[in-house]
Structure 1
């Protein structure tokens, strides 16, 4: 028996494809409602982000995002490579973006950041045992800093953390730890 509360997808057309993102036009029907075309962003790789903590501090990157033309604080984040374990991807992204190697990584939460328009699934981890082993890769951040956790809510409410996945990760961490 079909669930009458589910949207029905009658088909999908790929409008744009790249290694970063695909844009599809799906032919959908709302339960008891109209049938129409709906844009869907589909990401070919899983996303990971990591809240790196050391006692009462969190490791953040200060970077500019050209799409919104804003500077802001972010957690280390990126994609899992094909076949890569998400924990390994999270550790790799921390190292690439900050120059720190972490010794312990655990899942904090998994969520869909834009569930109404995107298939993206985002895994957020907490990492500890950070040891500086080198420099961040070029272009990853203007600077990398340990920020007191007590300052994070102020940074978030003042708009200094404009990145949605970073807001979610830091807020979830502060609410649950």
Structure 2
């Protein structure tokens, strides 16, 4: 059953997102007003070293009041290549510059409300370039053994679904 978005009207916008009100036609012909949040794409990146440790950030998310492990991530600037944005975010937030990035997955973390698309990359090498420019984004940065990832996810230490999916896939790729 397909819902049809007949038209949208912007009710609020800023440089980060737009909130639109959509006139949606349901399969039975009824109409529904539905709010939609339109966001720019997000790029994320991490690295896995020779010891099968993954580079992560420990940070607090004030919106949900939770702490958790995450990959470096941020919005893709207008005209910016997505992989280049992922590399930039990793460098700014961790102080590590990734080697050649490989696309891991793209996910839509909340597609019932927003069109957000998160593109996640990884590298099997990284070079430390110094203290992170955006150190305020996390309490610490650490190389965490990839073998611990499934238990970390199960304990709720990786609360963001996009980050949990990426880390579990990396665990599968590297450790089978």
Q: Tell whether 2:16 aligns with 1:23.
A: no
Q: How far did 1:176 drift?
A: 4.0
Pick from 134, 146, 150: which aligns with 2:147? 150
What is residue 51 of structure 1 aligned with on the other side?
46
Residues 48, 80 of structure 1: 8 Å contact kept? yes
SS in 2 for 1:54: coil
Aligned residues: 172
Aligned-residue offset at 1:33: 4.6
2:153 pairs with 1:160: no
Three-state SS of the structure 1 residue aligned to 2:16 is coil
CA contact (8 A) 1:51 1:169 kept: no
2:35 equivalent among 39, 42, 46: 39
Distance 1:124 1:51 in 2: 8
Structure 1 unmatched ranges of 5 or more: none
Distance 1:155 1:33 in 2: 46
Distance 1:114 1:33 in 2: 25
Calculate the aligned-residue CA RMSD, in Å.
Answer: 1.4
- Equivalent of residue 85 in structure 1, options 75, 81, 87: 81
Task: Return the offset for 1:111.
Answer: 2.1
Deviations 1:101-125 (A, max 9, x none): 1111011112222122211111111
Contact 1:51/1:170 (8 A) holds in 2: no
8 Å Cα contact 1:15-1:25 kept in structure 2: yes
2:128 to 106, 129, 132: 132
**Which 4+ stretches in 1 moved above 6 angstroms?**
none
Query: Structure 1 residue 161: deviation in Å?
Result: 0.9
Distance 1:172 1:15 in 2: 38
Quick one: distance in 1 between partners of 2:112 and 2:65?
A: 25
